[in-house]
Amino acid sequence: MSNIALDRQNLKLEVLVLPVADIDRAKHFYHEKLGWRLDADYVPSKDFRVVHLTPPGSECSIIIGKGITMTVPGSVQGLHLVVFDIKAAHAELVARGVEVSEVFHDVGGIFHHAGTEGRVSGLDPQRRSYASFASFNDPDGNGWVLQEVKVRRPGR
């Protein structure tokens, strides 16, 4: 075994591809309703379209379009958007007309269960980072979760 240290390459999650049935409806939802930056809307042919959008403050973007995925529209679940203040983020979504769940924490206190199982209404009682959530879906049913993080764990 060698004592030579190998450089580890950073791996940054850059783009998530979301399956949608109606590109313009989804573009309107993410850009107009949520206020995400529209980075590109590229249509080189009738069979291929790429719409690239980025949430405010995020280094990771989404791509929706035509001819970019074989995944069923609405099938992506559990996408997390980290926010500093879950109550403020919830209020902003409501003000933008987004149908969003109430703020909740999980009965087990570690991470939310799939779907709505194990949800307890309200903020995490100790207001711990990573423990308070709210959720919403895009028009196709792709599921997003807001997660409050006030203090990151070491190494994050």
Chain segment 73-104, per-residue pLDDT in tens: 999 999 999 999 999 999 999 999 999 999 99
Question: H helices within 22-84, ranges in order?
Answer: 23-27
| Superfamily name and number for 9-69 | 2,3-Dihydroxybiphenyl 1,2-Dioxygenase, domain 1 (3.10.180.10)
Say whether 77-156 and 9-69 share the same fold: yes
Please give the average per-residue pLDDT across 112-137, as a whole number: 91
Q: Is 5 a residue whose pLDDT tops 70?
A: no
Helix/strand/coil for 20: coil
CB 86 within 8 A of CB 123: yes
Domain ranges of the chain: 9-69, 77-156
Euclidean distance between CA atoms 14 and 148, whole angstroms: 21
CB 132 within 8 A of CB 124: yes
Chain segment 34-81, per-residue pLDDT in tens: 999 999 999 999 999 999 999 999 999 999 999 999 999 999 999 999
Report pLDDT for 134.
Answer: 97
Please give the average per-residue pLDDT across 121-140, as a whole number: 95
Asked if the 77-156 domain carries CATH number 3.10.180, the reply is: yes
Helix/strand/coil for 28: helix
pTM: 0.89
Q: Is 110 a residue whose pLDDT tops 80?
A: no
